[in-house]
Structure formats: structure tokens, C-alpha cells
Structure 1
């Protein structure tokens, strides 16, 4: 068991959220019990995850997608009220890290996605920005884009949407950024990558892929971001002896 204050401070030291100009608040979003022995992690603080936390008697919920996003309605009504009431009525805290949990070189969604897919992870293409969100690496053996899509499908247990470049070239050099980072395809193409993987696709992404000559795979926003919160929760378990459980609430997006 550890105090919530100590736990949050440890996470902040590990992830350095002050480096990021994010779309939401990184860190403790809802205060709960002052002592933490059970941490439930998940991708998004949806109602289903909160209900699981209540049933498991969690002290703290740790997620990648929390609350209080920029430009969202501020009124605590409807869905927002129900979610916050669940946390407050059961004295459960909510801890959320967005971009810091994408970029971390050991616990981040990006590095762990690359490792999960079996890529030879080389590092970040945007190190000069200090963010570390656009990662790149190589395939040990070049493969056709369709074969890469099959690999992603098998490893992610989710069929990706593949947009092939007209040239149909093999893939060796590959870049990726999890979640809604489809517009990073331009930077990936400019860096000479053969393919780019992200979570989502926009209408414009198809045209960018075809005209820039780079294969694109949309592997799912949720699916590509299942790694960071779980890894951070596991780290907390090892570091402080808290009980940790990851719950994957399926989301096809």
C-alpha cells in the first residue's frame, strides 16, 4: 500500500508530463482514497471500466484517455455526471496520462507497439521536437504490404485497413504513431519510410498515402493504445507492491 500522493508523484517523475502541451490534464484528475493498494488500468475511463473498478474494489483507475479535454462542454451533466458520480461515490481516484504515455521510451504506447509487432525499433523521427511521438524501425525481412497487414492482424487480433501506395513496393523501413496520428504520414514519407501505421484514418489519409507513395495501415485507435496504461500499472505493481489489473474494454474504433 502507498499513499496516492506518493504514487502520483512517482508517475510524474517517470513520465515528465510537464514536457507536453497536451489536450487534457495529465496526472490525478479525480481524487479518491488517500491510500492505494489496488490499481485498475485500462485505455479509456468509460463507464464499463469504472463499473469493473467498483466490482473489484479498486482504489485507483489508471488510463490513457481520461476526462477534461480541451473544448469539451464543462457542465457536469448526463454521461459526465454518471461517470464522476461512480468515482466519487466509491472513493476511487482517476489517474490519466495522454501524450506522456504515448512518448515514453520504455512504458509508452509507441515503443511497446513496435516491440509487439516485432519491429527492430530504431527510435524517434521527431526527437528534435522533444515529444518523441513518431517512432520508426525496420523489418528484419522485407515484405509486401499485404503481408505486413497480415502480420499486424495476427499480432493485434484486429484486421487493419490497408491503403497501398500505387508502386506496390516492399516494406523495410516503417514508421508508426498510435491513436489519432494519421496526419503524421507526411513526416513519415518525407523521412523515406516505406509504410506508416497509426490508429485511425481520415478521408484525406487515403490520398496522402497514394500521392506520397507510402503504404498506410490503420490498426485501430484503441488497439494501438492498449500498451502504455498496462505497462505503467505493471511498473507500479513491481515498484510499490500494489495489486494491478488491466481490463481491456473492447472498442472497434
Structure 2
């Protein structure tokens, strides 16, 4: 299919214009105009680009692309090597960040909600990016940790009262640990995100909320995989998700 047709469809589907983001959403590096084979992955690393080259991909679709706010603008070093590979091989780089965290069907948070089996979903936090919901029935901290470990292939770091029973849960994929205070203010029993800061431990202990740090990479696999499957079904594209292992 034509690259611009794919971009227009994704931009509209993910409501890109509604978001104030830290990097450009959509096409970041232009390649060939025709896209038939698409590789998806969490981050546009050198390893993902090499895998896309091996698969003769026309485009790479990621959650973490390039040109982040406040980063040095020079295209040198690692950034130069990555972009050079894309341009020399005429591969498009397409990235969707916050719009892909939040999408109600294809987003990272939607994947987390399905993994946990949550109901009565609502939003909170900056740009209403964090989600909250209720478990089917209350469970122990140990049980929720085991569910996250099984679903994300990564054991979570858990801080707060391990004796607490959990029913109402807040969550946001990636580096959203600072919504923990907002989750506590709502009276939620637990909050889940990808990363953890030193202060997270004290907030959890002092605000009587359990925090699960489930991995930035691990909590952000859902979106690119879900969107990729949808694009394959919608347009008949050949789509392949590539997992580049990352313990963080």
C-alpha cells in the first residue's frame, strides 16, 4: 500500500492531533513510498533496524522513535548510525508514543487492562493518560505479582504493604511512576507502571498503596503488536513483531 495512505490511517485512528507529546508522532524518517512488509518493535534501536534489514522490511513501526524533546539536535554518533542505516536502505521509520499508550483498543494500557481482566475503567493523571479499574475479585499482592510475571515475562519490583488485599488498580505503561501519588489520592489499592524511582518506595509506604514496577519495555509491547495485527488484517500487509530483549 502507499505509505501516505498508511500514515493517514494511523494518524486518524490514534487521534495524533489531540496529544501534546515529547517527540513527533507518525513518519520520522522517510523511506520508499510503497509499504508491503512492516516490522514492529518497542524501540528503534540498531538491533531492530538490523532485524528489519534481514527481513527486507519497507518500514519499521515503533513506540520509541527519535527526536525527543530536550535531546541534543545534532545527528551524530549513535543517532547518525541509526538514521544512516534507515536512509541508505530506504526504510521508513514510523513512531507513535503517547497516542499508542492510550488507544482504547490497540494501546499499551488497553493491553494491560485485558491482562489484568479489569472492569469499570476510568482515567486519571496528566492528560488523563493513566487508567484505573477493578479486578474481578480482590487478590493478594503475591497473586497480582505472579499474574504480571506470567503475562509480561518479567517479575515486577514490588514496594509497599505486601499484606494488603488488592481490588482497585491504577496503571500506566512505561515511565509513569510519578502517577503513583495520583493513584493514592484516588484511594486505589495498587498502581502499576514500568519504571521505579527512589521516591516511589516512600510514596507507596506512606500513602498506603502497593506499587508494582513491571518494566518499561515489558509494559509497552502491547501497542505495537496490537496495532501491527490490526494493520495486517485491515490492509493485508505482511507484519512481523521483533522482540529485542530489554530487562528494564
**TM superposition score category, shorter chain reference:** over 0.9
TM-score, with length taken from structure 1: 0.95
Alpha-carbon deviation of 1:125? 2.3
Alpha-carbon deviation of 1:230? 1.2
Matches within 5 A, 1:35-50: 35-50=34-49
Write the distance in 2 (CA, Å) between the matches of 1:64 and 1:78.
22
Write the distance in 1 (CA, Å) between the matches of 2:148 and 2:228.
25
Aligned to 2:240: 245
Alpha-carbon deviation of 1:113? 1.3
What secondary structure, in the 3-state scheme, does the structure 2 residue paired with 1:248 have?
coil
Q: Would you say the 8 A contact 1:145–1:164 is kept in 2?
A: no
Q: Would you say the 8 A contact 1:111–1:121 is kept in 2?
A: no
Map Cα deviations across residues 22-79 of structure 1 (whole Å, 9 max, x no partner): 0000010000110000010000000000000001000000000000001111111111
Q: 2:205 aligns with which of 205, 210, 213?
A: 210
Q: How many residues matched?
A: 248
Map Cα deviations across residues 105-154 of structure 1 (whole Å, 9 max, x no partner): 011100111212x3223323229x7x442111122221111221122112
Q: Would you say the 8 A contact 2:204–2:211 is kept in 1?
A: yes
Matches within 5 A, 1:214-233: 214-233=209-228
Write the distance in 2 (CA, Å) between the matches of 1:171 and 1:123.
16
What secondary structure, in the 3-state scheme, does the structure 2 residue paired with 1:32 have?
coil
Q: Does 1:133 align with 2:132?
A: no
Q: Does 1:235 align with 2:220?
A: no
Q: Would you say the 8 A contact 1:50–1:86 is kept in 2?
A: yes
TM-score, with length taken from structure 2: 0.97
Aligned to 2:183: 188
Aligned to 2:67: 68
Alpha-carbon deviation of 1:192? 1.4
What secondary structure, in the 3-state scheme, does the structure 2 residue paired with 1:95 have?
strand
Write the distance in 1 (CA, Å) between the matches of 2:7 and 2:27.
7
Runs of 4+ off more than 6 Å = none
Write the distance in 1 (CA, Å) between the matches of 2:114 and 2:39.
24
Uncovered stretches (5+) of structure 1, i.e. residues with no partner: none
Uncovered stretches (5+) of structure 2, i.e. residues with no partner: none
Specify whether residues 83 and 235 from structure 1 end up closer, same or farther in structure 2 by C-alpha distance, changes over 3 A only. Answer: same
Map Cα deviations across residues 158-194 of structure 1 (whole Å, 9 max, x no partner): 110000237x320011110010000101111111110
Write the distance in 1 (CA, Å) between the matches of 2:192 and 2:239.
30
Q: Alignment RMSD, CA only?
A: 1.3
Write the distance in 1 (CA, Å) between the matches of 2:136 and 2:231.
33
Aligned to 1:5: 4
Aligned to 1:170: 165
Write the distance in 2 (CA, Å) between the matches of 1:89 and 1:113.
37
